[in-house]
Structure 1
Amino acid sequence: MSTIRIAIDGPSGAGKSTLARSIAEKLGYLYVDTGAIYRTLGYHIYAKGLNPKDGTAVSAELPGLRVEMSHGRDGLQRMLLNGQDVTERIRLPEVSMYASAVSAHPSVRTYLLEMQRALARTHNVIMDGRDIGTVVLPDAEVKVFLTASPETRAHRRMLELEDRGTPEPYEKVLADIQKRDWDDSHRAVAPLRQAEDAVVLDTTALNFRESEEALLRIIRERTAKS
């Protein structure tokens, strides 16, 4: 029996993870947060004090790493690094830039590509990231490019950081998001871009419930045609 693959791409802070997780629970699909996978590698490089832009140094770390995902009964994705749960630590603000930098290296993308595709072969998945519809799952039944204005994304991220107990000033959060956008869209390998057959969903003027309803509508329309 073939699986259904839903690819959700978009810039940092667009709400991909929150929306994808909620909809996966509603549909009974496996949620795969690929950003968390790259954050796990970024955290490792950060914890070791290495330069994330040094491709040689980053590549040298890969053979000794074991990156795994686990899903509890609550459906939440936990990230394991060499057997240690690092789910909370990879969300530190400083890890974001490390994740973006390490994800630009071809060796890292190759290292994680099969892991992501294997999950989609064995489960109905909702997978979110930067290059899911263009590189990881180019034949996905549903492709959505989820976006919002940088200012809206910065405001949402600021509230998220406050909830986690790691507040940052709005100006800094906005600057970080703008830099992340530039880095992700200008990297040489698998840059952030909209797949030609993706549906664009701009949530700038939508609240969470409205965004969720709009995304569910797209998914149901596309899966009905496949």
Structure 2
Amino acid sequence: MNSIPVITIDGPTASGKGTIAQHVAEALGWHVLDSGALYRLAALACLRAQVDPADQQQVAKQASNLDVRFDSAGIWMQGQNVSNDIRQEAVGNLASRIAAQPPLREALLARQRVFRQAPGLVADGRDMGTIVFPEAPLKIFLDADAASRAQRRCKQLKEKGFSAKIDELIADMEARDARDRSRSHAPLRAASDAHTIDSSHMGVEETVKAVLDLWSKTSARHFGLS
């Protein structure tokens, strides 16, 4: 078993898992994996290459050939900062659609596991605790109701200069949730040993503290750390 610790944070879109993962990783001095960004990058690559989303082999090929880089300045694809591009709703919707395809998930699986490096990794996504890092000592399922998530996403989009309507975002999220939870391959669900946190009425600091408190207990039990 890999001795490098991993905290997985899974949950539906806009549940805040990316923000929480970043803060938890910073607090611990660990690496972070935004697995959703990889699927969004694959979706963006497909859109730019005009790949038919139904052509699973071509979609997987785009993912396999991704020229991507993550650093403090943003997310880069083919030398271009695409941090904002991958957050567009059209890209997110396509990412949700193609994420159900087994060839794509297989193409990205090994890439995700490479992020597990000392001293530790905080990985957020939809199947981090169930498929990618099933042996992780601490698994979090971060949930929130659709209305709360839509409010957060609306705020994010407007801050980035995009227009957004709450009603449309709620409908979109409910449809995306249904799609993610019902897909046959790696559906969105909490791992059997995951701790579920409902962040509907929790702020970032409160949620981060909840995760860090759980890690403190888990690390003491599993690794003798404090």
Note whether the superposition's TM-score is higher than 0.5. yes
Whether 1:142 aligns to 2:138 is yes
Structure 1 counterpart of 2:32: 31
2: CA distance, partners of 1:173 / 1:219: 33
Structure 1 counterpart of 2:59: 58
Whether 1:71 aligns to 2:71 is yes
What amino acid does structure 2 have at the position aligned with 1:37? L
Structure 2 counterpart of 1:111: 107
Deviation at 1:62, TM superposition (A): 4.3
What amino acid does structure 2 have at the position aligned with 1:25? E
1:192-214 per-residue CA deviation (whole Å, 9 max, x = no partner) reads 01100000001112122221211
Structure 1, unaligned runs of 5 or more: none
Whether 1:133 aligns to 2:134 is no
State which of 83, 88, 108 in structure 2 corresponds to 1:87: 83
On the 8 A contact 1:17/1:128 being kept in 2, the answer is yes
What amino acid does structure 2 have at the position aligned with 1:66? L
The 5 A counterparts of 1:1-226 are 2-63=3-64, 65-72=65-72, 78-226=74-222
Aligned residues: 221
Deviation at 1:180, TM superposition (A): 0.9
Deviation at 1:60, TM superposition (A): 4.5
TM-score by length of 2: 0.91
Deviation at 1:56, TM superposition (A): 3.8
What amino acid does structure 1 have at the position aligned with 2:164? E
Deviation at 1:16, TM superposition (A): 0.2
TM-score by length of 1: 0.91
Q: Name the SS for the 2:163 alignment partner.
A: coil
More displaced, 15-24 or 44-53?
44-53
What amino acid does structure 1 have at the position aligned with 2:36? G
2: CA distance, partners of 1:122 / 1:114: 17
Structure 2, unaligned runs of 5 or more: none
2: CA distance, partners of 1:135 / 1:62: 18
Between the two proteins, what is the percent identity of the paired residues? 33
